[in-house]
Amino acid sequence: MKSFACSLALGSLLVLGANARAGVVRGTLRVPSVPPAARSLDAYPGHASAMPGHHVPARGAVNDAVLYVERVAPDVETALAAIPLPRPRLAQKDQCFMPRVVVTPVGSAVDFPNLDPIYHNVFSVSPTRRFDLGKYPRGHSKSVTFDRTGLVNVYCDIHSDMAAFVLVVPNHAFTQPTADGAFALPSLPAGHYTLHVWHPDFPAFVREIDVRETGDAALDLSF
């Protein structure tokens, strides 16, 4: 994850460098030391019991957070969108969704491969993007394009304890922290920005930040 974040920051700096002086917003995000209390994810009656090796994702992990900039100039977004990134995917593995949180820019697609030796279903009734991919076996994958910003809660109608989140953000100026909370946004031209910090288990918050023409902007953030 660290190498990916560094590559993204370097790539955006190279793309933007020809047009404007750029800086990197980086820092550390902290979460409470005591994980949030588990809440029931049984939003509907599932149809199957747990498989051997059933994995339950940890709650309160710092790398489930998403940091994104509310608005960037159109030319900046065009430059950031030109940086090659792996297509996001939300896999079904060990009877859970992995990763628990996927972030994607509006207008992009997310893949949903089934890596388990059993059937799964993927659906959402979230207003941001309603869909139902039906049931499909191991080795098959389907995709969904997300054309509106917002949060999408994802479930499997066979296994009621499976749940995940797709956060659709307004542009490509976003990042997720590493397991130690370190983060770095893509390089941005000097200016004032609104930074959103979101986590599925903690209240979201907003910070106003200033990017200088040279050097990093350091942030120490906590939920």
pLDDT digits (tens, 9 = 90+) for 113-168: 999 999 999 999 999 999 999 999 999 999 999 999 999 999 999 988 899 999 99
In the chain, the DSSP E strands lie at 22-23, 25-30, 66-69, 91-93, 96-98, 101-105, 109-113, 120-124, 131-136, 141-145, 150-155, 163-169, 174-175, 182-184, 188-189, 191-199, 202-211, 217-222
How many angstroms from the chain centroid is the CA of residue 195? 15
d(CA 67, CA 153): 18
Cα Dmax for the chain: 56
Tens-place pLDDT, residues 51-78? 555 667 789 999 999 999 999 999 999 9
d(CA 156, CA 132): 9
Burial class, 165, CB count within 10 angstroms (exposed 0-12 / middle 13-18 / buried 19+): buried
Q: What is the mean pLDDT of the chain?
A: 87
Tens-place pLDDT, residues 155-180? 999 988 899 999 999 999 999 999 99
How many angstroms from the chain centroid is the CA of residue 42? 23
Q: In this model, does residue 46 exceed pLDDT 80?
A: no
Report which residue type is found at 207.
R
Between β-strands 163-169 and 101-105, what pairing exists: parallel, antiparallel or unpaired? parallel
CB 218 within 8 A of CB 42: no
pTM for the model: 0.84
Angle between helices 74-81 and 2-17 (to 10 degrees): 130
CB 175 within 8 A of CB 183: yes
Domains defined along the chain, listed by start: 1-33+58-84+173-223 (2.60.40.1120), 86-171 (2.60.40.420)
Q: In this model, does residue 23 exceed pLDDT 70?
A: yes
d(CA 37, CA 208): 30
Residue 214's pLDDT is what? 78
Which three-class secondary structure state does DSSP give residue 144?
A: strand
Q: In this model, does residue 204 exceed pLDDT 70?
A: yes
Give 6-60 as a DSSP string: HHHHHHHHHHHHTTS-EE-EEEEEE--SSPPPP----SS--SS-PPTT---PPSS
